[in-house]
Structure 1
């Protein structure tokens, strides 16, 4: 069976390097499933989970924005931040979610920084969903 070489990299360094039979990611245009020999593309990513299907199972990575480049047998993701499921501290993510919800409510009340609070909340929820899948 043909496989894809997959790389997820952040400004802090590589998060995932390996092979996959399929990569599923949510782009600004919708969810994409990438199989070997996929047509080349570049797509902006949403804050969401990237699922890496392998012969041995499935790996989930919380990705907080960035871009995905597909070129035949390669999928390269350049993410703002990313965390593998096993690296996520669920208690810390729950605390971040609670802080983000408080900040979002305060921002709505004060009519400032609401967008930043919404993004922080999306990131926290994404990490929780990745860990709890």
Structure 2
């Protein structure tokens, strides 16, 4: 019985010291990760569509050139140009996505304090920590 009371008292004393990540940082980290994921998807879609347009435009231009069709040559040139622009625009978007993801990762890394019992009383020490959360409910809003 004494051991149970001692353990209960120990956990009541230690529980305020061991804190979870504060809510503001958690929300900010989730926002950075959501923004990074959206930018990454947008960049990859623009890259894929741009490369596809470049390939189709090149083929259309080549076949139109050999057949002497001005419409196919013009359409191929327009598709090639639009695809090239889309491909070039996707590069900064992908770089920005990686930058935002790094910001979120920096917020989840840091130092944390732990208190330990010494002969002279409680002693606080800092140690590096990497914080992450695992959502247990599978419902996405």
Q: TM-score range by the shorter chain?
A: 0.3 to 0.5
Task: State the structure with bigger RCO (CA 8 A, min sep 6), 1 or 2.
Answer: 2
What's the TM-score once normalised by structure 1's chain length? 0.33
Q: From the two aligned structures, give the one with the greater strand fraction.
A: 1
Instruction: Decide which structure has the larger Cα Rg and report it.
Output: 2
